[in-house]
Amino acid sequence: MPLIFQNLAIGDRARITGFDNAGRAYRKRLLAMGLTPGTEFIVSRFAPMGDPVQIKLRGFSLSLRKDEARVLLLEAVIDAS
């Protein structure tokens, strides 16, 4: 089931499945930040006004504005434990 980044809460896990309506240059920028298809991340915190959002992926933290993340196609990651 597809997820919308803006609907994620702290502690939610998601996997990037692709990009929606991202221009080539913007997609290249996202890929350079480690946001590649198949990458899983956890939402770790929101700024006081809700934007930007900090996510943890690949052993580091990354802050993204919600409007930057709107192009990410996501799916839920269900913890097997």
What residues does each domain of the chain span?
A: 2-76
Q: Kindly indicate the confidence band of residue 17, based on its pLDDT and cuts at 50, 70 and 90.
A: very high
- Of 32 and 67, which is predicted with more confidence? 32
- pLDDT confidence of residue 14: 95
- pLDDT confidence of residue 81: 61
- pLDDT confidence of residue 50: 76
Question: Which residues, in sequence order, are bridge partners of residue 64?
Answer: 53
Give the tens place of pLDDT for each residue, 41-62: 999 999 888 789 999 998 999 9
Distance CA 81, CA 76 (A): 15
- Per CATH, is 2-76 categorized as 2.60.40.10? no
Distance CA 81, CA 79 (A): 6
For the sheet containing 53-57, what is the strand order?
Answer: 2-3, 72-76, 13-19, 40-46, 53-57, 60-64
